[in-house]
Structure formats: structure tokens, C-alpha cells
Structure 1
């Protein structure tokens, strides 16, 4: 082996051995990070850099949900301009079809990020979203708007799954709670910020301006992302190192272990295996199945509330679209409080419980917070439903929605962190399975508005409250049984 290469290897650990899986029994030189303190490992980047990347990815995750809901106050205007029957399913679909694309997109983007790295997938998907979001502003028929909205949602869905994996790449379990709270906040407050801004757009401007505004904001964010974002996925970083060494030395034996996994396998098979992984998780992993079901209920309730809010405040309380949109602050503030306070409690509990366990943390140490926050959901729903039905003072329904949103923020933070801790390098696929399933509820619930809040509260009580206790007791056994849950966190 030529060791005189000019390429610096200070951050590369080398281990040469024989790979019996190769027909020529070639000796391979495996590339790994050089110990726990290797500066090329994303978890060892300066904290400022890690936070900068986290914030940019979180903003990607934020702008897409804003675009998904910003047109909701303008639905009557859109229906009038595009000859859509008012109050029809078609009118509601112009809003919710964006979320339907969330069911498909993560199944594609999440696995691809584990094959080609986070960076190209995030950049490509966001530009895809930007192009079709601009197209929405130019739609002249309902069919055009539905198609453009669907493809915009397809592009905007990538950060919903890839972003969680990126946070896991950057932060160790002991630090992960706070970073995950920033990321988890985006898909929760985004749908409520959209109508807050969209209400004033509907009142003062043309509905097309809603799409102009989100496109301009996303375009600026994309320019910043080109300058700031770096690859965070460790296998891809090591693949790039191996590729550079092969090019510099002319020696084809340089390889990382993740490349070796796919040696001799056709690239189409590799991609097919990656794309099917989230569906495998949904079909075979009890952890993913239960969290997907629970999160589907929460996300469906969130979008049902977003769809009905304008009607509640404009029809029952006789408020203008701009004033009615201000009530979405209850959702945004509740999600923020649930996520930010939850993050501090989550990290504190995790460190304390890990210390009592000999310094060893487990994913189940994320669940005590979930046990408490799950109770806020049925309580908030009951307060909101009963006070609206009784036409009480406007602040009381907002308090109910605030309490409900606190639960959504806290619950999603706990569940997403638990998934990242449990599935490590395959976290993007696990989250993709959950995000895809929850998106179906986000699409479907608003189409069947009118369900009683008492019934919805009962659903959250039956599904949500027992789940953390069950996983706390049986989670280690389920993870030991799983073939993909990892001890590398």
C-alpha cells in the first residue's frame, strides 16, 4: 500500500482485512472516523456550526407547513376565482392535497438520504418544492392548482423525515433533546403561522400573494442553505473520504464499511431496498406502528382544527378573516411551549436517569415526559369543543386549543427523539414511516369535519395515554427483537 499520498489521513482510521464476499478475495482498507474526537465527525463540529445547520434544516421544515396552510383563509376567494363549489370537498382538497403528498414524499426522500446523504436530498427537494409553489400562484383552473399543490407538497415533505435524521447525525443523545425541540417545533407551528399570515392576505390582498410570499421566503432560505449546509450523514462522509483516497492513490481497495455492505449488488437493488425500508418498518416494527397511529391522530386533529378555525371565528363569532387568523396564535404558542419546556425537561430527565443507570442512556428514558404530556390532549380538546358549542367568550376556546397544542408539541418531541435514539442510522426511514402515515390523517380528517370533540378526546385518551407506559415496560424487549433497532445512538 502506498503510504506517501499527499492526502491527509489524520482523521482516518485504517484497517486492512480480507473480504471473503469478493470473488477475487481482494484485501480491503476500511476507512472509519479516527476515534471519538475526530473533527470530521459531525457530532464533533463546533457547537455553533451544528446549531446553524440545525436551524437551517428546521427552517426548511417550517416553510413547507406554512405553505400547506397559508391559503386556508383564502379558500372562498380561490373557490370563487377557479369556479369551485363553495364548501365542497373539492374546495377543502385544494388545501389538504398538499398534505396528501406528505404521505408519499417521506417514503422516497428519507431512504434516499440514507443512500446518497442528507445534503443533496435536502437541496434537491427544496428546489422541487419552490418550483411548484411558484406554479401554484399562476394556476388558472382547479385541476392545475391541485396538481401543483400536490407536487409542491411532495418536494416540501423531505425535511419532515430527513431533518430528524440530520439532527440525530449532529447531536449525541445527551444533547439531542434541545436540538430536536427546535426541529420538532417547525412542522407544528408552521401550519398555524400560515393561516395567521394568510388571514390578512385574504383580507387585504389577492390569494395568489400567499404563494408569492412563501416562494420568496423559501428562495432566500435556499440561497443561504447553498452557502451554509454541509453533509452530516456519517456513512456518506466516509464514502466521500474513500472516493477521494481511491482517486488520489489510484488504489481501488479503499472503502468504508457501508460501501462494503453493497459490494457486488446492482445499484437498482440498493435503491429498491432503501425505498422499501419505511414500509417494512411500518409493517414489522411495533414501535413505528404505534407511534405512527398515535401521530396520525394528532396530526389529523391539528389539520382538522386548522380547517375549521376560520369557520368558527368568522361564522360563529362574526370576526373578519384577519382577526380570525390571530387565533392561530393559540396553536403556535402552545406548540412552542410544549416543545421548548419539554426539551429542557427531556434532557434533564435523560441525564438523571442515565446517571442512575451507570451512565448508560436508553431510548425509554425519553418516555416519562410523554406519560404526562399525553394527558393534555383530551383535556384541551374537551375545553375547546364545549366552549365553542356554548359560544363562550373567545379566550376560553383559545385556552383549550393552547392546552391541546402543548400536548402535540411535547408528544411529537418525545416520539421523534425516541425513534432517533432507537434506529440511529436508519432514523430517517423510521421517521419517514411515521410521517407518511400521519400525513394520510392530515389529508383525510379535514374532509370529514364535524366529528364531536368529545369523541376525538376519547380517541386520544385510549390510544395515547397507555402507549408510553407500554413502551417504557416492554421497549427494551421490542428493540432486542427488532433486526434494525440499533445500539448506536
Structure 2
């Protein structure tokens, strides 16, 4: 803390104005017979930086020091929403043929895009929502988007033609992606790095498990009450969750919390000579901050090779999964003559595989870091990409695709391709959680932006790759069509190992160091 001080004017006959022209004792000058009064100098207030109270790990206002009950209440709430959002994304899949009959269309483009356009909203939403959360905080973005997500989901059920359904599906994805984009930032605010794996696993599983559970619910509801009731039933669950979120969620973003603390201290002291200011406050205007934040995900994608390659890998896996989600009902109805409800059930094995992958990840992710810390070794973000986690995931994903494709091609019993989808689900969650946690740890200060960058590329792939799904199978068949997808995933399999081994060096290279704050 520094205060602005003025030296006293000299004593004696020496004119103080000659040596101290800014001194308050020189407030008058005599020019001939006239006396001019000079304005009193403005004394700037003393600026006091506001941070957490020392010792920092005991300050109850810091989100890191909140009770476990409060922390997990926040994490579980955003995890539930992060489960419901992707559930809505895929629950229309088994009902697409009925929607096409209702709207009197035979477009194969609409058949897949009606499912995947939701994910296109996933790609666009983070560009706006991530910077808003870093400017105004997490909670206000959560509450606003949750209400909009509920409204757009209801409007999907009221759609009267293809255009209305596609528009409201896109807007649902745009608003709903908030918890998926910002959730990582909330976890980074609440949980220290060495304990973050479990929280990220629980939060991340919703983004994978949701799309697999959605069609099961959608298939049953469609068969019982019609496809419009898919949206109205899920809106009830969303509405209840929105109410809980208003009650439970607390602001966790340190920059916003310290700004509020500084404002409170200024109000309490009411002293014009002292001004409290958050140590995380920026000298730039909100507009400049917003423009920097809105460009940051794109900057991270294009200027940071580690982010680029990891997000590209996730995009390939995610786009492949949504291609499968968009075509499962066609495959099993055509090859195995499943009903609408039964076509929804084919997503269940993938969900089971995902849960098994989650248990595996939760078991090994944090344990690896704790073992290194206990051995006195430095814990680095790249430790999240240990071979014990990434190798099974990188190999299981394409293996499941091979098994699924060729057993469908050979018309083997339906349980065999279902085993393939379970293996694919197991591999996908290992890669998603491992890469997501790594990105959060490696770019902790900008966790929301780096996950936003991931979501942009992932969402774009998830929306566009499925558009070629039916044409791909028509041209190559079930076996070679899925083999092409598997070979693509296999080509990326070494990426986590390479980044795990050389990522720290790559991030330290001067040529690749980017100032994401500007």
C-alpha cells in the first residue's frame, strides 16, 4: 500500500513556488496589483489491493475453503444440468421417422440434422457464454441460460414444421451448453488440482451418458404418447432442476467475488482517501475485456498446438459418436426390425460402457497424481494423460467401431454389435475425461475459455459429421463405413501419449507461448 504525499514548503525567505510549484502553500500568486487564486491540487486516493485473507487456505470467503457440502451441492447441480442438456440432444433420435411422417418429408438431410443441429448450438454457445462468465461471473450466466433452455425445449414440442423444429433445437443447444462450457471453470474455482479428477469425472459423464440415455426415454415416450411429449416430459425435469439451481448455486469466480469484496469495503469505510480494488481487476474497459474473452477460445485453438491437437482429437471422437447416435435407430430398424421403443434401448449398452469407463477413470486419475506427490515428484497437468488411462481409451474406441460395424454387416445376433457399442462407450469416456481434465489443469486461469474452445470444435464436428452418416453407410456398407470411422480414430490414438510425454516442454517453448490475457 502506498500513499500519495507532498513535501512541506521550505522555511525562510526563499520563495517556495520556485522549488515547489505544486505546493498548496503557493495557492496565490501576485502579478502586479492582482492576486490570482490557484485551484487546490487533487490528491489521489490510496489504492489498497484486495485479495483473500492470509493465510489464504483459511479464508472462508474463498470458494476453495467452502465446506464439502456446499462444494458438492454446486458441482452436482451443474452435473445434473450437464446430463439433461445432451440427453435432450439425442432423445429425438428414435422418433425421427415419426417426425418426418408428421411433417411429410423424406429428406435424409433432415433425418440426421434434426438430431445434430442441437450440437451446432453447442459449438456457437461457448463463444458468447465463456467470455460472459469471465466478465460477470458464473451464476448469472447459469440462471439466464437455464431459463432460456427450458423455454426453447418447450417450443420444440410446439413446432409445426421442419424449420421451427430446427431453429428451436439450435437455440436449445445454444442456451443449454452453458453448464458444459462453464462447469469446468466452476470446478477449478472449487477444487484443488490434486482432487479435481473425481469432480470432473462426475461432471463430464453427463455429456456422454446423456446422449445414450436420451433415446431410451425418447423411444418409450414416443411409443406411448407421441414425439411431442418427448420435449414436454423432459421440460418438467428441466423446470425442477432450474428451481434447485436458483436455490443452490453460488458465485465461485474469484475475480467477481474479490470485486464484490472491494465494493463492500469501499461502502463500509466510506473514506474518499482510500479506495479498495480487487487484485484481479483489470485496467481495461468491460467492452475490451469482453472482446478479449470472446476471442480467447479461437486464439487458444489456433495459436496453442497442445490445445489444437487435443481438441481436434475430441472433435473426431465426438463427431463419430453423434453419427452413431443419429443412425442407430435406422440400423437396428432396418437390419434387426426393432420397434421405436426397442431402437431407443440400443443406446443402453453404450451407457453401461460409459459408466464402467467413468469408474475406471475415477479410480486411476487422481490416484496417479497422489502417488507422484507422495513420491516427492512434481505434479504436472500431463500426468492426467498417463498411459494407464489413455491407452485403454484410445484403443477401445476404434475396436468397438470395428466390432459394431462388421457384426451388423454379417447380420450376427443383435447382442454382438451392442457389445461393440459398449466398448466404444468405455473408450470414449476415458478420452473425454482425461483430455478435459488435462486442459483444465494446463490452462487453469482460463479454464472456461479452453473448455469453450474444446466445445466449439467438438460441437461443430458433432453437428456436421452425422450429416454424411446415412450416405456413408449407403456407399460403403455397415462394415467398411464404420471401419473408416475406426481408422480415423486410430490415427489419433498416439496423440495423448505424445502430449503426455512432451506437452510440458511444448507449452514452455517460447515460440508457443501466447498471452491469453491480451
Alignment TM-score, normalising by the size of structure 2? 0.86
Paired residues of 2:145 and 2:175 also in contact (CA < 8 A): yes
For residues 197-250 of structure 1, give each alpha carbon's deviation from its aligned partner in whole angstroms, at most 9, with x where no partner exists: 111122111111011011111100000111111111112111111111122222
* Aligned mates of 1:24, 1:328 — CA distance in 2: 69
In structure 1, what is the equivalent of residue 29 of structure 2?
A: none
Q: Are positions 1:476 and 2:515 aligned together?
A: no
For residues 359-383 of structure 1, give each alpha carbon's deviation from its aligned partner in whole angstroms, at most 9, with x where no partner exists: 5311011011213321111111111
Paired residues of 1:343 and 1:413 also in contact (CA < 8 A): no
State the secondary structure of the residue aligned to 1:230: coil
In structure 2, what is the equivalent of residue 295 of structure 1?
A: 314
In structure 2, what is the equivalent of residue 454 of structure 1?
A: 483
Unpaired runs of at least 5, structure 1: 1-15
Q: Give the drift of 1:36.
A: 1.6
Q: Give the drift of 1:75.
A: 1.0
* Aligned mates of 1:282, 1:18 — CA distance in 2: 44
In structure 1, what is the equivalent of residue 293 of structure 2?
A: 274
For residues 252-294 of structure 1, give each alpha carbon's deviation from its aligned partner in whole angstroms, at most 9, with x where no partner exists: 61111221x2x2x232112111111111111111121011110
* Aligned mates of 1:151, 1:457 — CA distance in 2: 32
Q: Are positions 1:76 and 2:97 aligned together?
A: yes
* Equivalent residue pairs, number: 462
In structure 2, what is the equivalent of residue 12 of structure 1?
A: none
Paired residues of 2:208 and 2:354 also in contact (CA < 8 A): yes
In structure 2, what is the equivalent of residue 348 of structure 1?
A: 367
Q: Are positions 1:56 and 2:74 aligned together?
A: no
In structure 2, what is the equivalent of residue 225 of structure 1?
A: 245
* Aligned mates of 1:250, 1:462 — CA distance in 2: 63
Paired residues of 1:64 and 1:153 also in contact (CA < 8 A): yes
In structure 1, what is the equivalent of residue 152 of structure 2?
A: 132
Matches within 5 A, 1:324-363: 324-356=343-375, 358=376, 360-363=378-381
In structure 1, what is the equivalent of residue 340 of structure 2?
A: 321
Over 3 Å counting, the alpha-carbon distance change for 1:484 and 1:466 in structure 2 is farther
For residues 6-65 of structure 1, give each alpha carbon's deviation from its aligned partner in whole angstroms, at most 9, with x where no partner exists: xxxxxxxxxx2479xxx9865311111122221222121111221111110011111111
State the secondary structure of the residue aligned to 2:443: helix
Paired residues of 1:68 and 1:191 also in contact (CA < 8 A): yes
Paired residues of 1:17 and 1:27 also in contact (CA < 8 A): yes
Alignment TM-score, normalising by the size of structure 1? 0.91
Unpaired runs of at least 5, structure 2: 5-41, 474-480
Alignment RMSD: 1.8
Q: Are positions 1:312 and 2:339 aligned together?
A: no
* Aligned mates of 2:497, 2:373 — CA distance in 1: 18
Paired residues of 2:382 and 2:500 also in contact (CA < 8 A): yes
Most deviating of 274-283 and 365-374: 365-374
* Aligned mates of 2:2, 2:191 — CA distance in 1: 31
Paired residues of 2:57 and 2:64 also in contact (CA < 8 A): no
* Aligned mates of 1:250, 1:147 — CA distance in 2: 51
State the secondary structure of the residue aligned to 1:253: strand
Q: Give the drift of 1:484.
A: 5.1
Q: Give the drift of 1:192.
A: 0.9
In structure 2, what is the equivalent of residue 389 of structure 1?
A: 409
Within the candidate set 428, 433, 438, 1:413 is matched to 433
For residues 287-313 of structure 1, give each alpha carbon's deviation from its aligned partner in whole angstroms, at most 9, with x where no partner exists: 210111101111111111111111121
Paired residues of 1:367 and 1:468 also in contact (CA < 8 A): yes
Dislocated runs of 4+, deviation >4 Å: 23-26
Matches within 5 A, 1:83-122: 83=104, 85-122=105-142
Paired residues of 2:353 and 2:426 also in contact (CA < 8 A): yes
* Aligned mates of 1:399, 1:101 — CA distance in 2: 31
Q: Are positions 1:178 and 2:198 aligned together?
A: yes
